Structure 1
Amino acid sequence: MKLLVTGKEGQVARSLVERASRFPGVTVITAGRPEMDLADSAGINRIISTADIDIVISAAAYTAVDQAEDEPELAHTLNATGAHAIASAAAARDIPIIHLSTDYVFSGASEGRYTEDDATDPQCVYGRTKLAGELAVASANPRHIILRTAWVYSPFGKNFVKTMMRLAAERDEISVVSDQWGNPTSALDIADGIIHIAERIVSGGKNAPYGLFHLAGTGETNWSGFAEEIMHTSHVQGGRKAIIRPITTDDYPTKAKRPANSRLATEKLEAAYGWKAPQWQTSLGEVSRRILAG
């Protein structure tokens, strides 16, 4: 099974390259800039139309949440127009697409976990462009899997876990928002889930359960609770530890509005594909060890 992943340096793309070695017969091909640019529809079509692949994994995106408020056109071009070009090129060859989206498509006003059937209402440019990308992919390719995920971290690139561990080495106390709730999700787990889903799609063909699903770490917390667990895990593993001081969203204003609650229900994915992410604390332990090891 050959997977073409958009993006080379993203957390999910790098995790897929690594995790593929655990699955016999799975090959991951990455395509990113300069040869594949989300703003270049012709280039996207050229690569996908000629590649020897079974499934396209649409992982590349504009993810600078606050910066998107100043660059809405660019964010839309990459997250919506680019996603549509990828899905269309795959559809032209009757190739399925697995497209990654975000918890930011929800307003955060709900008190419970969000299901795939709940109404979307993104409150920031990033969320709106990712929702537009979902709709574009679904309309362009009937053989689509859209995976909403949340609070992604890994041993790669920039993310919350690496930031907290770095700050712990620089200061004794870190202020972290405590009134935003969600599901910390390891990109390594996302990669495992994607490969599992892809194998089912290849074996099931057109009878595979396509559609919209939530894929997120099992369990929930707020950002300060996440930070406290990072400190605990790092300290147990020999790293530095800082005191986490809970603050409110109002105490830490950002250009883009984040959802107060973006907890995702993942039962639909488990029922359809028989796969569930580990408890987020367990996955954090693996990632923390690797970051400390350098």
Structure 2
Amino acid sequence: MKLISFDDYQIGVLTDENKVIEITELLPNLPEELRSFRMLTLIERWDTLQPLIKEHIKSKQPVDLDSVNLIAPVPAPRKVYAQPSNYKAHSEEMQASPWSGSAPQISSEQGMFLKASSSVSGPNDPILLPYSDRVIHHESELVMIMGKGGSMIPAEQALDHVFGYTCGLDMTVRGPEDRSKRKSFDSFAPIGSYIITADEISDPQSLEINLWVNEELRQHAFTKDMIVDCKNQIANMSWVARMEPGDLIFTGTPEGVGPVAPGDLVTINISEVGELSARAKARY
């Protein structure tokens, strides 16, 4: 199932014909100041809501996708985890770059880092570039959305805790500062355009990732080449911090990262998962 957030935090199902069926009425009525948590509520109550949703969409009239304004499918995650340097070729390109001094060589030596949850943005939001005199790179990534929470989750059970997957961009200011600072600016974690539920993805290590800037293909890779695979990322990260429904995990970027300038259109496509486009804009 494909799930979207749109307009004023409404929730919908995206059909195979690119039509939208709203399902917000199936969720508890939240006060206005808590509506951004609707998707978290759906994820937390998925086992109860899923059969109701399947019945609901049989009788409801869909609307055109163009008639709604897509926002980040998980607008207000509690935590945003990220796996650094998780493809060998990317680690090598960073070691050969001017920023190699601040980058350990392989993902298994680095564990994880956190991005600010306020850095999350959606497919119709601009990527706001905070500097005119610093290099800012795109990083295309598969993003996992956690369904069941837990601590110290065994790797062999980890994928059972995944609610779904989406496309993500881990935007990054290059430089000597701590990763979390360089990657946590507003709009530096675009995700979308929708969540594909985990039952639709048989193997998250068999996906193809492509990223274009304007019409130039910059990144092309396969998730099978991750150094730390998806299930072990969950196991390692949950050993440190308890995972909760709706938490995001950015799983690492492959080689081919490059600069983004105001006006550039950045597009990521992941096979079986979907596509996300966002245009860069100067914040300064």
**How high is the TM-score relative to the length of structure 1?**
0.28
1 or 2, which has the higher helix percentage? 1
1 or 2, which has the higher strand percentage? 2
**How high is the TM-score relative to the length of structure 2?**
0.28
